[in-house]
Each structure stands twice: as structure tokens, then as C-alpha cells.
Structure 1
Amino acid sequence: MVCLLVSVTVLHLVSLAMLFIATLEKSWWVWTETEITDLWHNCFYTNSTQTWVCAAATESDWLQSVQALMILSVVFSSVSLLVFLGQLIFLSKGRLFYFTGLCQAFAGFTDFAACLIFTFHRKEILSNSKDPSNGRFGFCVILAWLCVPLLLVSGVLYVHLRKKQ
């Protein structure tokens, strides 16, 4: 039982860390090796100062939806972790972690919706920058897609996890 509890907790922490990185890092769309776009900024690398120079991304309804859904996913997963830790202490013996699993599943669904919107509406999201056919997905989109099954699996595991002692 302890091994299962530790495994679920580690899975939760890994997926939460991946969500934070996917939401905050600068690589949702890569134009070239020196020009990238994320949910918040358009950045390019200057050789003269060897730093990234970023400007605010042009707002669109689709981009705001992706931003909101990714933030909701991080919030749901964080709340799920805090509720789980509280339930470990205060939940009576033999009870299930329903609320924790529900919060984690919602985190997975909001992450899934954000990934779908960015994947299928990237032309509208990136239209003000350049031609999207000249770029490719960055590692943050892939990381966000990888979070979806991790969040949903951990949500299901929480629902079936029973407090023994």
C-alpha cells in the first residue's frame, strides 16, 4: 500500500511539474532556432547581446482560451495535490479519494482542451506573427500532450485508492 501511495504521489508531482513547465516555458511554436512563440510572448535571440528579447503575444480569443485552460489545469492539479495531502491526514479509514481524483481528472480535461485548441487553431493564434506553415510545434506542446494521459490516469488511480490506515 505504501508503494502505491508513493507511486501515485510521484506521478502527481511529475505531472504537475510538467504542467508548470508547459505553461510557463517559451517554446510552444518554433519558427527558427532563434525565434519562438509561447502562450505569453513572441521571442527572438539576439547574437549581439546573446539574450532572448520578448514582446507580448498578440491577443486572440483562441490564445486567451488556451492560456485560461492551461492555468486552470495547473490550478486543478495543485488543488488536487493539496486536497490529497489533507485527505491523507483527515480522511477516515476505508474512504476513497473521490474529490482528489475528480480535481485531477478536471486538470486532465482542461489540459486536453488547451492542447486541442492550440493544435487545431494555431493558424488563428499565430496569424498575426508570420505564416504558421514555416514553423513547428515546440517541446511545450508535446509536454502538454504528454500530461493529458498522466493526469487522467492519476485521477482514476485516486478514485480507486482507498485509505487503509
Structure 2
Amino acid sequence: MVCLLVFIIVLHLLSLAMLLIATLEKSWWIWEDSEITDLWYNCLHDNTTDSWLCAATTESDWLQSVQALMVLSVVFSSVSLLVFLGQLFTLTRGSLFYFTALCQAFAGFTDFAACLIFAFHRKEILSASRDLSRGRFGYCFVLAWLCVPLLLVTGVLYIHLRKKQ
């Protein structure tokens, strides 16, 4: 039982870390000529100083919805972890972790919705005059997609987990 608890907590922490990286790090869209775009900034690599020059992204309704959904996903996953740790000490023997599972499932669904919106509305979100075929999805977008099954699997694991003494 202890091994299962440690596995679930490690899986939860791994998915939360991946979610934070996907939300905060630069690289949701990569252009060919050393330019990257994330949820918050457009960055251009300056070869003379070997640094990134970043400016705030142009706001659009689709971008704001992706930002909000990713932040909600982080919040739901964090609340789920805190609630789980609290329930470990307060639940009666034989109880199930339904609230924890519900929060984790909501985190997975909000992450899924954010990824879908970015994938289908990237032209409006990036609002670039350049051709989108010259760019590609970055590693943060891939991390966000990888978080979806991790979050949903941990949510299912919490549903089946029963508190024992």
C-alpha cells in the first residue's frame, strides 16, 4: 500500500511539474528563424548579444482562453494534491478519494481544452502575417498534451484508491 501511495504521489508531482513547465516556459510555437512564441511572450533570438528579446503577445480571445485554461489546470492539480494530502489524515478508514479525483480530472479536462483550442485556432492566436507552415509546435505544447493522459490516469487512480490503516 505504501508503494502505491508513493507511486501516485510521484505521478501527481510529475504531472504537476510538467504542467507548470508547459504553462510558464517559452516554446508553444517555434518559427524557423530563431523566434518562439508562448502563452505570454513572443521572443526573438539576438545573435549579437546571444540573448532572447521578448515582448508581450498580442491579446486575442482565443489566447486568453488558452491562458485561463492552463492556469486553471495548474490550480486544479495543485488543489488536488493538497486535498489528497489532507484526506490522507482526515478520511475515515475505507473512504475513497472522490474529491481529489474530481479535481485531478478537471485539471486534465481543462488542459485538454487548452491544447485543442491552441491547435485549432493557432492562426488567430499567433496573429502573424507570416506563413504558419514555416513554424512548428514547441516542446511546451507537447508537454501540455502529455499531461492530459497523466492527469486523467491519476484521477482514475484516486477514484479506485481506498484509505486503509
TM-score by length of 1: 0.97
Change (3 A) 1:48 1:64: same
Seen in structure 2, the aligned counterparts of structure 1 residues 97 and 154 have a Cα distance that, compared at 3 Å, is same
Q: Is the aligned partner of 1:120 residue 2:117?
A: no
- Say yes or no: does 1:50 pair with 2:43: no
How far is the alpha carbon of 1:130 from its aligned partner?
2.9
Contact 1:29 1:36 in 2 (8 A): yes
Q: 2:109 is matched with which residue?
A: 109
Gaps of 5+ in 2: none
CA displacement, residues 12-52 of structure 1 (integer Å, 9 cap, x when unaligned): 00000000000001000000251100000000111111111
Identity %: 79
Instruction: Report the number of matched residues.
Output: 165
The amino acid that maps onto 2:159 is V
**Mapping of residues 20-99 of structure 1, within 5 Å:** 20-32=20-32, 34-99=34-99
Q: Displacement of 1:127 after TM fit?
A: 1.9
1:101-129 CA distance string (max 9 Å, x none): 00000000000000000001101111245
Which residue does 1:148 correspond to in 2? 148
What is the CA–CA distance in structure 2 between the aligned matches of 1:152 and 1:163, rounded to whole Å?
20
- C-alpha separation in 2, matches of 1:78 and 1:46: 36
Give yes or no for the alignment of 1:19 onto 2:40.
no
Q: Which residue of 1 aligns with 2:100?
A: 100
Once residues 130 and 140 of structure 2 are traced to their aligned partners in structure 1, the CA distance between those partners, rounded to angstroms, is 20
Deviation at 1:134, TM superposition (A): 1.4
Superposed CA deviations along residues 62-120 of structure 1, whole A, max 9, x for unmatched, are: 00000000000000000000000000111111100000000000000000000000001
Superposition misfits of 4+ residues, deviation over 6 angstroms: none
User: Structure 1: any 5+ residue segments left out of the alignment?
Assistant: none
Q: CA RMSD in A?
A: 0.9
Question: Contact (CA 8 Å) 1:42, 1:55: kept in 2 or not?
Answer: yes
Question: How has the CA–CA distance of structure 1 residues 154 and 129 changed in structure 2, closer, same or farther, with 3 Å as cutoff?
Answer: farther
Letter in 2 for 1:27: S
- What secondary structure is seen at the aligned counterpart in 2 of 1:93? coil
TM-score using structure 2 length: 0.97
For 1:66 and 1:46, how far apart are their aligned partners in 2? Answer: 28
Q: Is the 8 A contact 1:22 1:144 kept in 2?
A: yes
